[in-house]
Amino acid sequence: DAMVIQNPRYQVTQFGKPVTLSCSQTLNHNVMYWYQQKSSQAPKLLFHYYDKDFNNEADTPDNFQSRRPNTSFCFLDIRSPGLGDAAMYLCATSRGRGQTEAFFGQGTRLTVV
């Protein structure tokens, strides 16, 4: 009974070709996060939604966009993937902005060729 589901698990895209990663949750949590994790590094927060309120990290490249059409779904759009965007992308949810734990999906491994 997975609670945060990411699709696909593995995605291969061409250099410069737009790609969308998806995340869904069955927890009815208010907050959804997107993290980028490169090999042997800590996850890096790209942005998060508190309900429909979008919060972008200051150093997130403009190439990365996100949509949250409803509580359950959130999408990460990479408009023009470069080789440096190859990474594991992690979606997570939490009940609120307070000091509650986050629940992570299994991640999508993005390869750019």
Partner 1 sequence: GDSVTQMEGPVTLSEEAFLTINCTYTATGYPSLFWYVQYPGEGLQLLLKATKADDKGSNKGFEATYRKETTSFHLEKGSVQVSDSAVYFCALSSTQGGKLIFGQGTELSVKP
Residue ranges in contact with partner 1 by CB under 8 A = 4, 6, 31, 33, 40-43, 45, 48, 55, 90, 92, 94, 96-107, 109
Which residue in 109, 87, 95, 80 sits closest to 33, CA to CA?
95
Residue nearer to partner 1 on the CB measure, 20 or 55: 55
Determine the Cα–Cα distance for residues 66 and 106; give it in Å rounded to an integer. Answer: 19
Least Cβ distance, residue 63 to partner 1 (angstroms): 21
Least Cβ distance, residue 85 to partner 1 (angstroms): 19
Least Cβ distance, residue 47 to partner 1 (angstroms): 10
